[in-house]
Amino acid sequence: MALTPDFDVMKALADFKVPGMPDVEALAAAQRKNLEALSAANRIALEGAQAVARRHMEILQQSASELTEAFKSFGSQEAPQAKAARQAELLKSGYEKAVSNMKEIADLIQKSNAEALGLLNTRFTEALDEVKTIVNKPGT
């Protein structure tokens, strides 16, 4: 058995029969499915992180724009009580918007995590069923 560039390890293992050894092809197929599921879960997590980053940037740009407008309005000639009331209203609305934005970001993260974890949980269940099938296969 020479190790050449076209040597197929999986074929060599499949040809190598040992009593009690599980089906190597089935194990290799299960492992490929595991890697595919992990890759898909990583892709979902990455897409989720990118969506969070995009939305965070949008929020920052919107906040900067609103802050600029708020500072411009402070230069107006109005009574101190009216300015104080407007400042209090700006603080209140700013706080409410910040809480809303944090909830939105948290929801995006939770959705992405749930989707990735769901994919992995499904694959884990399938993998356990495959292992049972391989172990219970006649001749192993």
Percentage of the residues of the chain whose pLDDT score is greater than 70: 84
User: What is the chain's mean pLDDT, rounded?
Assistant: 84
> 56 by DSSP, 3-state: which?
helix
Tokens of 110: 């939770």
* Backbone φ/ψ region at 17: left (φ over 0), alpha (ψ -120 to 50), beta: beta
Tokens of 136: 């219970």
Task: Categorize the per-residue pLDDT at 18 as very low, low, confident or very high, splitting at 50, 70 and 90.
Answer: low
pLDDT of residue 119: 95
Task: Categorize the per-residue pLDDT at 90 as very low, low, confident or very high, splitting at 50, 70 and 90.
Answer: confident
Contact assessment for residue 18 and residue 7, using Cβ atoms and an 8 Å cutoff: no
- Give the pLDDT mean for 46-54: 95
pLDDT, tens digit (0-9, with 9 covering 90-100), for 60-69: 999 999 888 8
Helix, strand, coil % in the chain, rounded to nearest 5:
80, 0, 20
**49 or 1: whose pLDDT is higher?**
49
- Has residue 45 got a pLDDT over 80? yes
Q: Residue 69 and residue 63: Cα distance in Å, rounded?
A: 10
Task: Categorize the per-residue pLDDT at 19 as very low, low, confident or very high, splitting at 50, 70 and 90.
Answer: low
pLDDT, tens digit (0-9, with 9 covering 90-100), for 102-117: 999 999 999 999 999 9
- Give the pLDDT mean for 21-32: 77
